[in-house]
Amino acid sequence: MSVTRRDFIGAAALGGLAASSTLAADALPTRLLGRTGARVGILAFGGGSRFLEYGEAKGIEILHRALDLGINYVDTAASYGDGSSERRIGQVMKTRRRQVFLATKVDDRDAAKAMRTIEASLGRLQTDHVDLLHVHALGDANDLAAIEAPLGVLRLLYKLRDQKVARAIGVTCHSDPAVLARALERHDFDCTQMALNAALSGAGAASFQSVALPVARRRMIGVIAMKVFAQGQLVGPAAPEMLLRYTLSLPVAAAVAGMPKPEHLEANLETARNFKPLSATEMDNFSDQLSAGHKSELDRFFHRHTDA
């Protein structure tokens, strides 16, 4: 299909994105997260709505299990369950913070409001810093302008990075690849989290993979994939292991997955531990097949989808 995806496969191989030969047979492969210097496991634990499907005690138990099995990247946000995700994760962080690359997100566009939100997040997470702090859910061009405003959240994130409250800063987006690409071109982000799955990228379609991912690569911005399973909508039309392999065959550091059942955690870890990149032809065929039946619907879904 597209030259871009074939370039991605070549870059992945040359850059050593597959598992290191020095890893133990059951270890989770790690990759470098852009210019942060951190190495993170290729499967990240998602703390969003899928995590919140567990009761509190079970959710805490599952997160401990994920860390025991080798996951070291945990992703959450202030808005997930109105802070309940961060509170649960904080119960784990109070004893295991040093084991985890911890990322959270702030929805506020006004710097003063954002600072209050971030202070509350640190309290819930039981830590004095996070490894990655994202501007959450970048929307359209007007939203980007609000983030960039003199009293907007972006300047606050720069300040917090300087103060080591956040080791790195980033921006997430699941609705507008062109606006995300513009943000990455304009600003000094260390990382970005974007919607990357096989159904969004087929048949030469404009997607995060074709529009925003090349900008991130060129600027050495660490990329975290999300919406790999499209909130579960692609599980059934495609095998979960193929969906995860597709996304991990791209030049990303990690894929964040919501895993609402213990068996999802076990299965995704098995795929990640034994990861082998798909060939360019396999990626083309798989994404074209899924895109034909699902891209338009998923585009509409993600434009109105709110992470919560």
pLDDT at 11: 45
Please count the helices (runs of H) and the strands (runs of E) in the chain.
Answer: 11, 10
Instruction: Give pLDDT tens digits for 216-241.
Output: 999 999 999 999 999 888 999 999 99
pLDDT in tens, 125-177: 999 999 999 999 999 999 999 999 999 999 999 999 999 999 999 999 999 99
The chain-wide mean pLDDT, for the chain, equals: 91
Exposure string over 246-272, b if 16+ CB within 10 A, otherwise e: bbbbbbbbbbbbbbbeeebbeebbebb
Neighbours of 281 (CB within 10 A): 12
Query: Would you state the pLDDT for residue 25?
Result: 52
- Provide the pLDDT confidence category of residue 2 given band limits of 50, 70 and 90: very low
Tokens of 290: 């899924």
- 76 vs 65: CA distance, rounded Å: 17
For position 251, what pLDDT does the model report?
98
Rg, the chain, Cα only:
18
Amino acid at 233: Q
Q: What is the pLDDT of residues 172-212, one digit of tens each?
A: 999 999 999 999 999 999 999 999 999 998 767 789 999 99
Mean pLDDT (whole number) for 240-259: 97
pLDDT value, residue 296: 83
pLDDT of residue 8: 44
Measured distance between the N- and C-terminal CA atoms of the chain, rounded to whole angstroms: 35
Distance CA 175, CA 250 (A): 19
Confidence category of residue 297, pLDDT binned at 50, 70, 90: confident
Axis-axis angle for helices 280-304, 240-248 (nearest 10): 100
Pick from 176, 111, 100: which is nearest to 138 by CA? Answer: 176
Of 89-98, 134-143, 287-296, where does mean pLDDT reach its minimum?
A: 287-296
Per residue in 253-270, pLDDT (tens digit) is: 999 999 999 999 999 999
Question: Residues 6 or more apart from 136 whose CB is under 8 A from it?
Answer: 77, 78, 79, 105, 106, 107, 172, 307
